[in-house]
Amino acid sequence: MSRTFLKMNGLGNDFVVIETASQPFEPTPEAIRAIAKRGDGGIGCDQVIAIDPPRSAGASAYVRFWNADGEVAGACGNGTRCVAWLLMQPAGKDSVAFDTVAGRLSGQMAGDKRVTVDMGRPGLDWTQIPLSEEMNTERVELQVGPIDAPLVHTPVCVSMGNPHVVFFVDAPVTDAFATGTGSLVEHHPLFPQGVNVGFAHVQSRDHIRLKVWERGAGLTLACGTGACAAQVAAVRRGLTDRTATVEFESGSLVIEWREADGHVIMTGPITLEYTGKLPEKVVA
Ligand SMILES: N[C@H](CCC[C@H](N)C(=O)O)C(=O)O
């Protein structure tokens, strides 16, 4: 049985989205890798997303995420905006709630192909990231490069349902730097579940330039949970006010770490690229 899918992206961070109500989807890591592979018979994407029927009252769906390396991911901000938009279309609704392994998320329309998602509260304790040892997550004892002249050091760690480490840098970093440094940190022993690595350049109290090396996907054009983590990290360090624009080369997200309830609110665009059929051989 061949399955239909939707190819979508959020600021170029791209997804193969499969609605499973009429086509069960229990993929192996190899199947995910085959779907995500760019070229050689793959569809090509950073993450694969399954939209399952709801498992609890009040939710429109249960949503699962996998990285291109085949491993399960706990959250995906850009993907969450795309899912929220999809779930609001048929019913002509302007708000929706759905569940993920990281908890209940809610979305609402914020203009044409623009969605606001409540990503819930960040995890700030070392056990929530998680780290392999107790540390102050606002100033983590970690550096990359020569001891006497580290390339990056003393990051902030934040969980958005997935682990993030955010390094503040004095200037926007190149793709080569983010790749070389991010790939070193992704599987550092301090992060027993791996980590997404952000390089944040604070331009002003409401503007951050960000590049993210994603766990299980590598350098992506944008990272929604990475933008949330960078803004939470910047507020913790006193570098930005509660709402900031987080800018990638492909565009920007508006992130608010809401004072009233501690929730992180992300607003940004979604793109529906095309619909297609998964090749039979890819997913048995
Ligand atoms: N690579 C991430 C999942 C996708 C995050 C990103 N695509 C986003 O928009 O948040 C992880 O392993 O936790």
How many CB atoms sit inside 10 A of residue 83's CB? Answer: 31
**Within this chain, do residues 255 and 147 fall inside the same structural domain, yes or no?**
yes
Residue 214 CB less than 6 A away from ligand 1: yes
Q: Looking at ligand 1, which atom is closest to the CA of residue 46?
A: 7
Question: Looking at residues 33-57, what average pLDDT do you find?
Answer: 96
> 223 catalytic, yes or no?
yes
| Each residue's pLDDT tens digit, 160-176 | 999 999 999 999 999 99
Looking at every residue in the chain, the average pLDDT score rounds to: 96
Q: By the 8 A CB rule, do 226 and 165 touch?
A: no
Q: Of 65, 76, 252, which is best to mutate to test ligand 1, by the most ligand atoms within 8 angstroms of its C-beta? A: 76
**Within this chain, do residues 87 and 150 fall inside the same structural domain, yes or no?**
no
Q: State residue 105's pLDDT score.
A: 97
> 228 catalytic, yes or no?
no
40: confidence class by pLDDT, cuts 50, 70, 90: confident
Helix (H) / strand (E) element for 227: namely helix 224-236
Q: Write the DSSP assignment of 234-276 as a string of letters.
A: HHHTTSS-SEEEEEETTEEEEEEE-TTT--EEEEEE-EEEEEE
Q: By the 8 A CB rule, do 35 and 282 touch?
A: yes
**Within this chain, do residues 110 and 192 fall inside the same structural domain, yes or no?**
no
| Each residue's pLDDT tens digit, 252-261 | 999 999 999 9
| Residue 138 maps to a domain | no
**Within this chain, do residues 101 and 156 fall inside the same structural domain, yes or no?**
no
Q: Of 78, 214, 220, which is best to mutate to test ligand 1, by the most ligand atoms within 8 angstroms of its C-beta? A: 214
Task: Calculate ∠ Cα 25-15-258, nearest 5°.
Answer: 110
**Distant-in-sequence, close-in-space partners of 141: CB < 8 Å, separation ≥ 6:** 135, 154
- Chain CA centroid to CA 64, Å: 13
Helix-helix angle 224-236:77-88, to 10 degrees: 120
Task: Calculate ∠ Cα 123-138-247, nearest 5°.
Answer: 80
**Within this chain, do residues 116 and 151 fall inside the same structural domain, yes or no?**
no
Residue 231 CB less than 6 A away from ligand 1: no
How many CB atoms sit inside 10 A of residue 218's CB? Answer: 17
Q: State residue 279's pLDDT score.
A: 79
| Residue 126 maps to a domain | no
Is 273 annotated to bind a ligand? Reply is: no
| Residue 237 maps to a domain | yes
Residue-number span of the structural domain to which 10 is assigned:
4-120+270-277
Q: How many residues does the chain have?
A: 284
d(CA 43, CA 201): 33
**Residue position matching structure tokens 């992206």:** 9
Query: Looking at the DSSP assignment, which residues form a beta bridge with residue 214?
Result: 218
d(CA 61, CA 53): 5
Q: Is the pLDDT of residue 246 over 60?
A: yes
| Each residue's pLDDT tens digit, 256-282 | 999 999 999 999 999 999 999 987 776
| Residue 158 maps to a domain | yes
Q: State residue 41's pLDDT score.
A: 87
Question: Looking at residues 188-203, what average pLDDT do you find?
Answer: 98
Q: State residue 203's pLDDT score.
A: 98
Point out the catalytic residue in the list 45, 157, 223, 228. 223
Question: Looking at residues 229-239, what average pLDDT do you find?
Answer: 98
Q: Is the pLDDT of residue 200 over 70?
A: yes
| Residue 100 maps to a domain | yes
Q: By the 8 A CB rule, do 220 and 13 touch?
A: yes
Least confident of 2-6, 75-79, 229-233: 2-6
Is 39 annotated to bind a ligand? Reply is: no
Q: State residue 2's pLDDT score.
A: 75
d(CA 190, CA 213): 17
DSSP-derived pairing of the beta strands 156-159 and 196-204: unpaired
d(CA 123, CA 75): 13
Q: Looking at the 3D structure of the chain, how many domains does it have? A: 2
**Within this chain, do residues 13 and 108 fall inside the same structural domain, yes or no?**
yes
Torsion on CA atoms 178, 183, 185, 187, rounded to nearest 10: 160
**Within this chain, do residues 115 and 217 fall inside the same structural domain, yes or no?**
no
Q: State residue 90's pLDDT score.
A: 83
Q: Is the pLDDT of residue 284 over 60?
A: no
| Residue 131 maps to a domain | no
Query: Looking at the DSSP assignment, which residues form a beta bridge with residue 57?
Result: none
**Within this chain, do residues 155 and 223 fall inside the same structural domain, yes or no?**
yes
| Residue 38 maps to a domain | yes
| Residue 167 maps to a domain | yes
CATH number at residue 43: 3.10.310.10
**Within this chain, do residues 112 and 31 fall inside the same structural domain, yes or no?**
yes
Q: Looking at ligand 1, which atom is closest to the CA of residue 13?
A: 7
**Within this chain, do residues 98 and 189 fall inside the same structural domain, yes or no?**
no
Query: The complex's ipTM?
Result: 0.98
| Each residue's pLDDT tens digit, 110-164 | 999 999 999 999 999 999 999 999 999 999 999 999 989 999 999 999 999 999 9
**Within this chain, do residues 14 and 108 fall inside the same structural domain, yes or no?**
yes
**Within this chain, do residues 78 and 147 fall inside the same structural domain, yes or no?**
no
